[in-house]
Chain A
Amino acid sequence: MRAKAAGPLSVLLLVLLMALPAAGADDFDRLRRDASRISSLSADFVQKKSMKILSKPLVSTGKFFYAAPDSIRWEYVKPIRSIVISEKGTSKRYIASGGKMIEDKTGGVQAMKIVLDEVAGWMKGKFSANPSFAASVREGPETVIVLTPTGKNTAGMIEKIEITVSRKDAVVKTVRIVEGAAAETRIDFLHTAVNPALPPGTFQDIP
């Protein structure tokens, strides 16, 4: 379940980073066209988790990588090292245990694969084709895309997702995943590079 719960997050982040560069216009066809020009992407991220039980946000940091058409590496470095790799229709999750990375073989990994497969469609700019979320665009000093769950299952976990995109360079700056009135996850992307040459082995299994 843990991995399943993580799925929507990974998915959303992917969508954001991939398909949002064109989100300045309320035009999902254009999103699809612009998404097709991205062949790879890398970014650092800082995640701040806020909850009532915490006096201050719990900060996690990590790195994100994407390569067209469907390769993803979503890696947390602190406070727990955790890596999700999705490539060629297969998703694997690795967790730190005993000083090394081991594969998470819980059933939730398969559930996450389903989610990531769905996300692959989003990465191609197919926002409106996804029945799990209703997407809308709000223009202002920055462009904000709001994804609202339409299904009962997702709605129980996520209230809404807000993706802030810079109007200046069309890069995703922030993602807010609102779980409820007192809980949200904010992810700030830093050092985003579009179409970089990714290191060999980025999407290979962790030895």
Chain B
Amino acid sequence: MNVRFFLILSLLLASCSSLPEIRPSADAGSACPSPFVVQKTRFIHTIEAAAAGETRSVMIGVTVADPASRTLSCALMSPEGIVFFEASRTPSGTNISRALPPFDAAEVARGMLDDIELIFLKPTEEINRAGVGDSGRTVCRRRLRDGGWLDVGKDRDGRIRIQRYSEGGRLRRSVALAAGVNPYAAIELQASEWTGYSLSMTLIEAETVPDEIRSGK
């Protein structure tokens, strides 16, 4: 009975979702935040993964993001250094070189690469609306080519938020970046799927990558 009730409630809530309103603002367009990487950069983060509010796993993640070629390379490993996922994505496709369960499931690997792209690479779509959202923060909205919407906004405290919505306006992903000089110093990602999860990432090290690495050193 309770399960059925919550299922119906969830469906109702989902069906009633709508994009947050953006109020026009004269200077919002020039204030659109863009935290995304501007040159090829390697990041090493600790990643704390949680589901249902409970920490499930702690990992080390390595990401190389290249905005010029829009390529991503990533590796996930245990604290003991055993790599259980390694993949790269280019505009022409994805190459998974190592995937141990549960990362051998195609949807898990794709979802993870989608999350990484969301965090590090600037969307290719143009901003088609900018203004002030709830709580008075600046919000810049893009219509995504693959469907849905993407908001990038800046809170009053300086934190940048990246939020991806479904076509119907349901929040699918919410990323909060650290305020300050390096927004990737601390990253909080909340996935609102049927089975939601969250990632809390803390920067260990970041460095720009010389171009020669691109050739596959």
Interface residues of A (CB under 8 A from B): 1-3, 5-6, 8-10, 47, 49, 51-55, 58, 60, 74, 76, 79-80, 82, 95-98, 102, 104-106, 157, 179, 183, 185
Contact = CB atoms under 8 A, between A and B. Distances in A.
A49 B77 contact: yes
Interface string B47-72: 01000000111111010100000000
Secondary structure at the A interface, as helix, strand, loop or mixed, is mixed
Given A1-B101, A6-B80, A55 B207 contact: yes
B75 to A, nearest CB: 5
A9 B58 contact: no
Given A1-B102, A58-B81, A97 B64 contact: no
Secondary structure at the B interface, as helix, strand, loop or mixed, is strand
A126 B140 CA distance: 64
A104 B57 contact: yes
A5 B58 contact: no
B44 interface: yes
Contact of B81 (A47, A74, A95, A102): A47
B174 interface: no
A82 B102 contact: no
Interface string B71-112: 001110111111110100000000000001111000000000
A162 to B, nearest CB: 16
Contact of B56 (A6, A53, A98, A106): A106
A53 B57 contact: no
14 contacts: A2-B78, A5-B78, A5-B84, A47-B81, A51-B62, A51-B83, A51-B86, A53-B42, A54-B42, A58-B60, A79-B60, A95-B58, A106-B57, A185-B81
A9 B57 contact: no
Interface in B143-198: none
Contacts of B207: 55
Contacts, number: 90
Interface residues on B, range: 20 to 34
A194 B74 CA distance: 40
Interface of B: 42, 44, 46, 48, 55-60, 62, 64, 73-75, 77-84, 86, 100-103, 204, 207, 209, 213, 217
Nearest to A94: B58
Contacts of B103: 1
A102 B58 CA distance: 11
A129 to B, nearest CB: 24
4 tightest A-B CB contacts, nearest first: A82-B79, A5-B82, A6-B80, A49-B81
B68 to A, nearest CB: 18
A73 to B, nearest CB: 14
A82 B80 contact: yes
A94 to B, nearest CB: 10
A105 B57 CA distance: 9
Contacts of B81: 9, 47, 49, 58, 60, 185
Contacts of B204: 79
Contacts of A79: 44, 46, 60, 204
Contacts of A54: 42, 62
A102 B79 contact: no
B82 A9 contact: yes
